[in-house]
Amino acid sequence: MKNRITDLRADRGWTQADLAQRAGVSRQTINAIETGKFDPSLPLAFRLARLFDRKIEELFLDDQ
Amino acid sequence: MQALNEMKGTARLALWTGAWTASVALATFGPRHLWDLEQPVASWAAVALNLAVGVGWIIAITRYLRVIDELQRKIMLDALAVTLGVGWVVGFAYVVADAADLVANEGTDGIAALTGLMGVVFMIAFFVGRIRYR
């Protein structure tokens, strides 16, 4: 699933490690989500949306 | 906080894994090197200890799965699934071969080899998962 996390994270000047710490996951998880290798669970997707002050559908794009 | 919990969980799991391995060694080599084979009470105590520590190890694994984050959990569960599949298939192949009198070595050699194989398969599957999601 495509997402805009890399861009939104860069806008805030956060590293992957910064975002991982705020979201309560590992840096590897953030990297895997950003590269589209791993789709997060709904709770984590909501957490990420809250961190970026966006709706989930603004973060994750349906690529089907 | 998450990282600290994961580190604690990893350390706890490593301790239980070490304890289980030590209890297997005690139950396996104890009857020959630490006490006489004619002392079944000591041997049964070692087997009971091995089972008890094994239960603790299983609990430690399930708790560890709850502590780690969702990607790590997926990598771990994928590796465990591959390990279970290999153990199941190879284990049944061994049983079938043994029933057909194709197995030369009787006794615990086959079981020891199977558990060793499962350990190696788990480590390979785990590291493949880590690399896949790197």
Q: Do A26 and B6 touch (CB under 8 A)?
A: yes
Which ranges in B1-134 belong to alpha helices (H)?
2-29, 40-67, 70-99, 109-132
A16 and A27 Cβ atoms separated by less than 8 Å: yes
Residue of B93, B58, B69 whose CA lies nearest to B7: B69
Q: Look at residue A62 and give its three-state secondary structure.
A: coil
Largest Cα–Cα distance of chain A, in whole Å? 31
Note whether B72 contacts A: Cβ–Cβ < 8 A.
Answer: yes
The pLDDT tens digits of the residues spanning B65-102 come to 999 999 999 999 999 999 999 999 999 998 898 888 88
Note whether A42 contacts B: Cβ–Cβ < 8 A.
Answer: no
B65 and B127 Cβ atoms separated by less than 8 Å: no
pLDDT band at B58 (very low <50, low <70, confident <90, very high): very high
On the question of pLDDT at B39 being above 70, the answer is yes
DSSP-assigned beta bridge partners for residue A2: A61
pLDDT at B108: 64
Q: Do A25 and B74 touch (CB under 8 A)?
A: no
**How much is the ipTM here?**
0.86
B contact residues 38-67, partner A, Cβ 8 Å cutoff:
none
Enter the DSSP assignment of A60.
E
Q: Which of A29, A31, A37 sits opposite B70 (nearest CB)?
A: A29
The pair of three-digit structure tokens given for residue A45, joined into one six-digit string: 């997707």
pLDDT, mean of residues B5-15: 88
How far the first Cα of chain B sits from its last, in Å, is 22
